[in-house]
Structure 1
Amino acid sequence: MRVGLTGGIASGKSTVASMLVELGAVLIDGDALAREVVARGTPGLAQVVAAFGEELLTPEGDLDRPALGRIVFADEAARKRLEAITHPLIFERYAELEAAAGPDDLVVHDIPLLAESGRADTFDEVLVVDVPVELQVERMVRERGWTREDAEARIAAQASREDRLAIATYVIDNTGTLEQLRARVEEIHAELTAR
């Protein structure tokens, strides 16, 4: 079974993904693949540098992700240029990893921008980790040290909470305790693996 997992920034999606892996799911992590396709020495990094400039490289030759983030999350046209480079490379890696999974595996695709991609209908189920926007902002300021303005800009660059909920076949509320979150994830995992 192929499952899409998404949620807004600071919703707790990565925590849910880790819990699913602990329960035996195969995880294909979109954030990890997004980093992989622009790693030092890759054609993806060369394309990003060609599009945005060499000033986005660290002295070691890696992509300065925070600097790129400041550009693309403040400028929709720049974000679309970046996505046109990275999305095809990421989807190619997704397909390779999925093909390597076993036929009875629960394969969870952790895709931060699933609502934006228009690909929700390509999955058997879609899990959406949900929290109110104000809680997202609070977590980014508290846990990541971001300014409120940076947090709000990042949220504004993503699909709305309503758009994510519209694609959900399962909603995972993450406003409670870690134990409550784990119980909900275990309940959904049991339902999915029972099929």
Structure 2
Amino acid sequence: MSDSRDGFSAARRLIDLAEAVRADPELPRAALAELLAGHGERPADLTPEAFTEAAADALRAAARRMGAVLGESDEDRAAEALNALFAEYGTRPRLTRHDGHPWHLHVDRGDEGGWGDWFLASGALALAQLLTEYGRIAWGACAAAGCGRFFLATGPGSTRRYCSGSCATRERVAAHRRRRREGEREGRGPRELPAAT
């Protein structure tokens, strides 16, 4: 179980795993192992003997718990939730270098902590780093009706509310249609669709 390496993003791993479990709460152990392998976890750590059904259950539960943090839009509440995760699952920060990776920070309790504890500690660290780097919540759950996908919002500009341009457009069009129907009910004529921004 690793945390950081060249070209590796703990935040991207967090988003991808939490989203996969949000979409399929009973995501099979093999699918979880494949997702983790795609994020650079060692194959030896992902065998059925090393990454057991019980470990997969713990990881799914941890992903659901992180999903609640990913859906938080208030910075103070997000910071409180991350501090609670550090208190419960973290340990004294330590620098480590293993498996040919450069020096990086770990806050998990190591292998004895298990997959769920590791995911909660490393996920909290990834989100805390984003919050301190950007000075705002740089993640979210899509606000589009029927979506809710988790996303990272680490680019420039204002805070994002949607996972994609498609969801943003769909919501803008739906809002326009609602305003139009309300205007027609009140006896006003239809309005023009505002230009995309």
Task: Give your verdict on TM over 0.5.
Answer: no
| Higher strand residue share | 1
TM-score relative to the length of structure 2:
0.30
| Higher helix residue share | 1
Considering Cα pairs closer than 8 Å and 6+ residues apart, tell me whether 1 or 2 has the greater RCO. Answer: 1
TM-score relative to the length of structure 1:
0.30
